[in-house]
């Protein structure tokens, strides 16, 4: 027996749905207007999402807005096209956020156009140390001709960051799910808080100082939000030497790269905490080149990250010196 639903019944249901949706929309609009008025009057603390111009590129994906660095998951679990480009690179850059914002994509691509050598940036956030990139090279059998390592006082500590420990222990499915959830959360929050102020009783910033995307083609971070301020870089006259356990870790790291036929090169990204004495000691002990141009009048957005103009100046000097180094030339010609 067939049961038909009359047009009048269907229309009444449709009117009910429309009425419910209209009520939700009206409630949202009223809430937004009320909260906005309270914020404007100074009676309530709130924050609107900053205006962001998202990269219009198919190779670029969201990784960070004040929380965990999704680039760890992408590279460790081999998601997307990043690893294909990393495997094809003649040179990889290894380091933390200082290296990503000190050796930016524009400089990498200019170097490739001028000299023909491809570069992939493996730099990670979270103050990542040598443990994670060493195992990343092994896990995916990456064999670039040259690895540029931006050293800091704690790079050769031989242990993963808290976030790296999470990433290496989770399954590929959990990594994909985590990336999807974080990305969706950010896009929804970005749209919602353009109009409705975000209230946070913990006084946490909506995005933090940076919002970052990453290129699967170059590995480089693409900042869509970064601090607008600019301050002089003032390196301290650090004289701290490398602790014995750090030197052992550095030697093990250099040996691991050597077994893969990779020429190790050290550099220092200019910042207030840069320790050139330590880098010189490491380069001498490991018998590898140190290419760390010291430029005057560099500026940064905070104590450790160069602004885009100073990063461009430093990148130009660094890549010029790198290609002129005899050990690097020998490695690239193999």
Tokens of 192: 């919602």
pLDDT tens digits, residue range 243-261? 778 899 999 999 999 999 9
Q: What is the pTM of this model?
A: 0.85
Asked whether the predicted pLDDT for residue 201 surpasses 60, the reply is no
Tokens of 181: 């959830």
Asked whether the predicted pLDDT for residue 43 surpasses 50, the reply is no
Asked whether the predicted pLDDT for residue 84 surpasses 60, the reply is yes
pLDDT tens digits, residue range 128-177? 999 999 999 999 999 999 999 999 878 998 889 999 999 999 999 999 99
CATH number, domain 62-332, options 3.40.50, 1.10.3470, 1.10.260, 1.20.120: 3.40.50
**Would you state the pLDDT for residue 249?**
95
Question: Quick one: what percent of the chain has pLDDT higher than 70?
Answer: 82
φ and ψ at 181, to 5 degrees? -65, -45
Write down the domain spans for the chain. Answer: 62-332
Band of pLDDT at residue 20, cut at 50, 70 and 90: low
- Structural contact between residues 305 and 329, judged by C-beta atoms closer than 8 angstroms: no
């Amino acid at each position: 027996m067939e049961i038909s639903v009359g047009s009048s019944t269907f229309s009444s249901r449709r009117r009910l749905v429309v009425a419910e949706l209209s009520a939700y929309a009206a409630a949202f609009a009223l809430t937004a207007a009320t909260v906005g008025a309270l914020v404007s009057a100074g009676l309530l603390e709130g924050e609107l999402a900053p205006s962001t111009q998202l990269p219009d590129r198919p190779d670029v994906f969201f990784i960070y807005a004040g929380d965990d660095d999704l680039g760890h998951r992408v590279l460790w679990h081999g998601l997307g096209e990043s690893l294909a480009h990393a495997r094809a690179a003649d040179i990889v850059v290894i380091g933390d956020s200082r290296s990503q914002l000190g050796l930016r994509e524009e400089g990498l691509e200019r170097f490739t156009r001028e000299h023909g050598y491809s570069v992939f940036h493996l730099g990670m956030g979270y103050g990542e140390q040598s443990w994670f990139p060493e195992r990343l090279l092994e896990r995916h059998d990456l064999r670039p001709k040259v690895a540029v390592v931006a050293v800091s006082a704690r790079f050769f500590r031989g242990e993963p960051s808290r976030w790296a420990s999470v990433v290496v222990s989770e399954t590929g499915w959990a990594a994909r799910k985590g990336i999807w959830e974080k990305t969706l959360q950010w896009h929804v929050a970005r749209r919602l808080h353009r109009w409705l102020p975000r209230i946070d009783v913990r006084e946490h910033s909506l995005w933090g100082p940076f919002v970052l995307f990453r290129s699967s083609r170059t590995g480089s971070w693409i900042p869509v939000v970064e601090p607008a301020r600019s301050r002089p870089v003032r390196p301290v006259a650090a004289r701290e030497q490398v602790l014995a356990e750090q030197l052992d870790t550095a030697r093990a790291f250099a040996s691991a790269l050597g077994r893969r036929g990779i020429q190790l090169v050290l550099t220092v990204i200019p910042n207030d905490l840069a320790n050139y004495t330590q880098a010189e000691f490491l380069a001498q002990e490991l018998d590898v080149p140190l290419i760390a141009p010291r430029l005057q009048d560099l500026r940064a957005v905070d104590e450790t990250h160069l602004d885009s103009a100073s990063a461009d100046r430093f990148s130009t000097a660094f890549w010029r010196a790198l290609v002129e180094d005899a050990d690097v030339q020998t490695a690239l010609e193999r």
